Amino acid sequence: MPFPDNFSFVRRISQIGTLLQSVFCGKPVGTDAFGNRYYRQSKPEKGFREKRWVVYNGEPEASKIPPEWHIWLHHTADAPIPDSARRSWQKPHLQNMTGTTEAWMPPALEGKDRPKATGDYAAWKPE
């Protein structure tokens, strides 16, 4: 069975370790819209901050974590921000698509024609 180009044994072993830690030492906290599961240490050590971590749904990619869970993971807030606190003008979170076929490209690089100049500028000509 051939492995995909981005396959890494080290990453897979790390993922297995995180899953084992989640089962034996973790307490589930919640799930986000992407299907990522969040955990906290079930028995925090006295004098230390509790450990918090995420088990990604699919490939591990840090930009998959929405801001409301990011602040919880980094101990900025004691609980994730509820969805009801989102403002009407806020866009939904999207993961970073750089390097994928979904990445944004300027129209000129997508093969689309650039709109004609309107004549509101004069081109510089060296003397």
Q: Where are the domains of the chain?
A: 26-82
* pLDDT, tens digit (0-9, with 9 covering 90-100), for 34-51: 899 999 988 888 888 899
Torsion of CA 94, 100, 102, 106, to 10 degrees: 110
**What are the E-state strand segments in the chain?**
26-31, 37-41, 52-55
pLDDT of 99 > 80? The answer is yes
Confidence of residue 101 (pLDDT cuts 50, 70, 90): confident
For the ranges 12-26, 29-43, 104-118, the one whose mean pLDDT is highest? 29-43
Read off the amino acid at residue 97: M
pLDDT of amino acid 116? 73
The whole-number pLDDT of residue 1 equals: 47
